[in-house]
Chains A and B, each alone.
Chain A
Amino acid sequence: MYDIVGKQKYFSGASAVLFIASVGVFLLWGLNLGIDFTGGTSMELRFPDTASRPAITEMTATLAELGISNPRLQDAGEAGVVLKMQYISNEQRQSIIDAYVGVGVAEESFNTIGPSLGAELKDKAIVALILVLFAIIGFVSYAFRKISRAAVPSWVFGVGAILALIHDIVLILGVFIVLGKFFDVQIDAFFVTALLTILGFSVNDTIVVYDRIREGLKYRDKKSFKQIINESINSTIVRSLNTSLTTLLVLLALYLFGGESIQYLILALLLGIIFGTYSSIFIASPMLLVGEKLLKK
């Protein structure tokens, strides 16, 4: 048996460092929000070959003529261009296509979102995150309501689970802020989807460990709370790792071969499962002990 609870300070320390780093990059660079939240347009055009693809400066000039200022143009694939700009009307969209129809342009994808819709989705995403957190804290408190009063009240389990979840969210955000800064990876509705899913998955892991602790407390003998926690972690660790591993295998295949449009959704899920597994083993359960100590005082 590994003494995981005994080495708690190392794990907590590592998490604390990553947590602070994530908050640091957030304060430093902020979130690179995608058009889902800011409103705007993303348009992918494909030309028959590189020779027929107009130069970026030339396209910028064409866009300026159509009243579109400050577009961001990126190469995409062999003869493709991704245009990112403000919210545009269908007339403007048609004009852009018409401008290059002579060289055989094809519109691969077009997505435009009004600014008010973006702001609304942002509010909704924040509300959804908070809702999920509260729903989970409520559910965990309910599921563990019959727990032995000798240890800690059931809401401490809820709080422990939430702390682990906040840990996961902040760390993933930290990674995506860095990716956003250096690789222009944007935080979009898919990312929020991934985040919410991870909350479900991570709490899944946490509940399995808690369930074991609940059982351990029932047949307590003369073991200390600390001992019970450590035994529970040890008896579920293989299961936690195996579950994560199987899910990671599938996600990894999706990440490598699944296509670009959901690549970052998958990446967020991958990271989330890694952080979630880590936090349910090394953060959520030891937190119960911290809670017990605090309540004793």
Chain B
Amino acid sequence: MTQRLKIRLALVGILILAIGAGVIDYPKGPNIHIGDYEKEVKVHLGLDLQGGTSLLYDADVTEIPADERAGALDGVRDVIERRINAFGVSEPNIQTIRSGAEDWRVLVELPGITDITEAINRIGETPLLEFKTEGEPPEIPEEQKLEIRAQNEVTKGEAQAVLDRVLAGEDFEALAKEFSKDPGSAEKGGDLGEIQEGVMVPEFNTAVFETGVVGEVIPELVQTDFGYHIVRVDERTDVDAAVEPPVAEEGEEATPAAGSTARARHILFNTIPEEPQFQGPFYEDTQLTGEQLERADVTFDQNSGLPTVSLTFNNEGKELFGQITRDNIKKTVAIYLDGSIISAPVVQQEITTGEAVISGDFTLDESKELAQRLYAGALPVPVELISQQNIGPTLGKTSIERSLFAAGFGMILLAIFMIVYYRLPGLMAIVSLGVYFLVILAIFKLWPVTLTLAGIAGLILSIGMAVDANVLIFERFKEEMRRGKSTRQSMDDGFTRAWSSIRDSNISSLITCIILYWFGTSLIRGFAITLAIGIVISMFSAIIITRNLLRVFRVKNTWWYGIKRND
């Protein structure tokens, strides 16, 4: 291959590169489609240029073992990501940041979102989903029972003393106000108002409707689950007991019999129950929690049409849920959210598909929110917001316009200087700088590099450095020319001799970029990356593009090279 052909080929290569880069750079240019691979080609603007919010969270990993921390941090990122996605932000950037052994952070960048109070709240909340099964309440130790019994004896003594005073003729109402532990009636002198027969607990009911004599204090203490009562029946209307009270059907509130009514007063002395009392069955924890959820969706009940939330468990959850349902057929399984029960369906059969439905009294919005919150899951470790940055959209837009204008203006000044001072080589340098710019922009679009304001500054600085490589070569070239070498020879020597300077100086700048990248917050990293890309491409543009252009457009007259030579 002749030298001439080589140069021509290089020139064609440069042209193809420039056109290719130009097509990519063209606004709304084509996207990349290679088979199934599809990639949108566009410049990614940093938050400072398009406006948005950046949140930095510090994860507290002190509670978990060292080898699980990295996984926990990834978990935090995933959970935050799901919560943010539910919030509907386009292109959020959520990444973990670990520099050093002490920093466990998650950076959340939300472009276009400036009203972020709701987003912050959404990230910070930790819903807790638990599944519980019916079980035996825990036994209270004998020792504790004895203690309770002793205390209740004391209470009984107090009650007896008051009963004695009532029986001795003291004012019932005044004593009720003073001693009764029933806050509702104590104020009213112990008056319970009108009572339907069968509504009160059995012991009390018997006392009022059977043992008690109207207008008299029952001379014994009445003991119920609540404690000891001193009771006085004030009125009673007896109705024919032959009338059958309607039988309460299962699941319904027992309708009070349209039977006897009474009016009574009481003084209550609370006792502590020896066995714990529960409303409904006692529920035991299971291994199954929101952690084993794979997804949660809003569905609709086929019969009622009401919104429900359907749950799909992962493999572990599927197994656990299968076991729980197998062991609890005809019993209830309670679903707790944030510690309170939201539904307790009765298990009809073993469920092995790993799917469950929560039905409750939900509105559509409530069920949507519940599904989202459940899907997002709980944060594996607590997080703390340590830095927050919002940039308004107009500020970013102004910044990009102004810096682009400034860059254009600077480039024109630069071009004028180079052409006036270096003439033909200067012009070639500007042409190669143009190609350099197209290539840089194409790289930014393809990589994609997130462009920040500091990044633009880095880019512009790299233009200065690109020119530097050219200037080094041209100065060397002139020197060789002055020594009387031919244009061709001077050019080659100029390039060869300048190369070591260009190489060494650029390597030192690249070292700086690496350290900057390590040091930096995301904004500074943008600067370091753009500067580094700029340095590498600028070396290429000076060594390959300018050189070949100058070889092709070679002229005899040395005026074009800014040199007076007396041949």
A94 touches B117 (CB 8 A): yes
How would you classify the secondary structure of chain B's contact residues: helix, strand, loop or mixed?
Answer: helix
Check A117/B518 contact, CB under 8 A, given A106-B392, A211-B501.
Answer: no
Q: Which B residues lie within 8 Å of A257 (CB)?
A: 402-403, 405-406, 409
Q: Could you tell me the distance in whole angstroms from the C-beta of A119 to the nearest C-beta in chain B?
A: 12
Q: Are B464 and A250 in contact (CB under 8 A)?
A: yes
Q: Does B479 contact A (CB under 8 A)?
A: yes
* A107–B389 CA distance with the chains assembled, in angstroms: 11
Is residue B513 contacting chain A, with contact meaning CB distance below 8 A? yes
- Residues of chain A lying within 8 A (CB to CB) of residue B511: 132, 135-136, 139, 200
| A251 and B460 in contact, given A128-B516, A193-B520 (Cβ under 8 angstroms) | yes
Bound complex: CA A228 to CA B519 (Å):
39
Name the distance in Å between A157's Cβ and chain B's nearest Cβ.
11
Q: How far is the CB of A200 from chain B (nearest CB, A)?
A: 3
Q: A90-B117, A265-B454 are in contact. Are A143 and B504 (CB under 8 A)?
A: yes
> Given the complex, which residues of B lie within 8 Å of A212, measured CB to CB?
501
B453 at the interface (CB under 8 A from A): yes
- Give chain B interface residues in 220-234, CB to chain A under 8 Å: none
Interface residues of B in 5-40 (CB under 8 A from A): none
For residue A73, CB closer than 8 A to chain B, the reply is no
B43-62 vs A, CB cutoff 8 Å, 1 = contact: the mask equals 00000100000001010000
B387 touches A112 (CB 8 A): yes
**A35 → B minimal CB distance (Å):** 10
| Known contacts A193-B454, A250-B460; A112 and B414 CB within 8 A of each other | no
List the A side residues contacting B407 at CB < 8 Å. Answer: 250, 253-254
Using CB atoms, name the residue of chain A closest to B503.
A143
**A16: Cβ under 8 A from any B Cβ:** no
- State how many angstroms separate the Cβ of A1 from the closest Cβ of chain B: 13
> Which residues of chain B are near A72, meaning CB under 8 Å?
none
Inter-chain CA distance A117–B405, complex, in Å, is: 35
B398, B413, B509: the one contacting A253 at CB < 8 Å is B413
Given A117-B387, A246-B417: A108 and B402 interface contact (C-beta under 8 Å): no
A250-268 vs B, Cβ < 8 Å mask (1 yes, 0 no): 1111101111011001100
The answer, yes or no, to whether B116 is at the interface (CB within 8 Å) is yes
Task: Say whether B174 faces chain A, with CB atoms less than 8 Å apart.
Answer: no
Contact call A132/B515, Cβ cutoff below 8 A: yes
Are B388 and A197 interface neighbours, CB within 8 A?
Answer: no
Q: Within the assembled complex, what's the spacing in Å between the Cα atoms of A108 and B393?
A: 8
Question: Is A60 positioned at the interface, with any CB of B under 8 Å from its CB?
Answer: no
Question: In the bound complex, do residue A139 and residue B519 qualify as a contact, i.e. CB atoms below 8 Å apart?
Answer: no
Cross-chain contact B453 with A262 (CB below 8 angstroms): yes
Tell me whether B465 is interfacial, beta carbon within 8 Å. Answer: yes
Cβ < 8 Å to A, chain B residues 285-339: none
Which of B200-208, B344-352, B467-475 faces chain A? B467-475
**Cβ contact within 8 Å between B417 and A245:** yes
Choose from B389, B468, B505 the contact partner of A203 (Cβ within 8 Å).
B505
Within 8 A of A (CB), among B422-481: 453-454, 457-458, 460-461, 463-465, 467-468, 471-472, 475, 479
List A contacts of B405 (CB < 8 A).
257
Whether B454 and A190, one on each chain, are in contact in the complex, defined by CB atoms closer than 8 angstroms, is: yes
Bitwise interface map of B from 489 to 507 toward A, beta carbon under 8 Å scored 1, else 0: 0000000010011001111
Q: Which one, A19-27, A169-177, A235-243, A284-292, is touching chain B?
A: A235-243
A211 and B392 contact, Cβ closer than 8 Å, known pairs A190-B454, A247-B464, A254-B410 = no
Does any Cβ of A come within 8 Å of B356's Cβ?
no
- Which residues does chain B contribute within 8 Å of A116, judged by CB atoms? 386
Given contacts A121-B521, A239-B475, A249 and B410 within 8 Å (CB-CB): yes
Contact stretch, chosen from B140-148, B370-378, B523-531: B523-531
Interface residue B559 (Cβ < 8 Å from any Cβ of A): no
Is there a chain B Cβ closer than 8 Å to A110's Cβ?
A: yes
Residues from chain B with Cβ under 8 Å of A249 in the complex: 410, 413-414, 417
Bound complex: CA A87 to CA B464 (Å)? 39
A57 at the interface (CB under 8 A from B): no
For the complex, is B418 an interface residue (Cβ under 8 Å from A)? yes
Q: Which chain B positions have C-beta within 8 A of A236?
A: 475
On chain A, the residues within 8 Å of B99 by CB distance are 124
Q: Is A269's CB under 8 angstroms from B457's CB?
A: yes
Contact A250 B411 (CB under 8 A): yes
User: Of B114, B398, B519, which is within 8 A of A196 by CB?
Assistant: B519
Return chain B residues, CB-CB under 8 Å to A140. Answer: 508
- B121 and chain A: residue at smallest CB distance: A90
Residues of A within 8 A of B70 (CB): none
Q: Mark A108-135, 1 if CB is under 8 A from B, else 0.
A: 1111111011001100110110011001
Whole-angstrom CA separation of A114 from B386 in the bound complex: 5
Contact B413 A262 (CB under 8 A): no
- Nearest CB in chain B to that of A123: its residue: B100
Known contacts A110-B389, A249-B410; A243/B454 CB under 8 A: no
Bound CA–CA A108/B391 (angstroms): 6
Please state if A251 and B410 are interface contacts (CB–CB under 8 Å). yes
Check A193 against B116 for contact (C-beta < 8 Å).
no
State whether B471 touches A262 (Cβ < 8 A). no
Give me 5 A-to-B residue pairs in the complex whose CB atoms sit less than 8 angstroms apart, sorted by A's number.
A128-B515, A139-B504, A190-B524, A203-B505, A261-B399
Q: Which residues of B contact A (CB under 8 A)?
A: 48, 56, 58, 99, 103, 114, 116-117, 120, 385-392, 394-395, 398-399, 402-403, 405-407, 409-411, 413-414, 417-418, 421, 453-454, 457-458, 460-461, 463-465, 467-468, 471-472, 475, 479, 497, 500-501, 504-509, 511-513, 515-516, 518-521, 523-524, 527, 531
Closest 9 CB pairs of A and B: A247-B464, A253-B410, A200-B512, A250-B410, A114-B386, A128-B519, A204-B505, A257-B406, A200-B509
Besides A128-B519, A269-B461, 14 new A-B residue pairs in contact (Cβ under 8 A), listed by A number: A90-B388, A107-B390, A108-B395, A110-B389, A124-B99, A190-B524, A193-B454, A239-B475, A242-B475, A243-B471, A246-B467, A253-B410, A265-B457, A266-B457
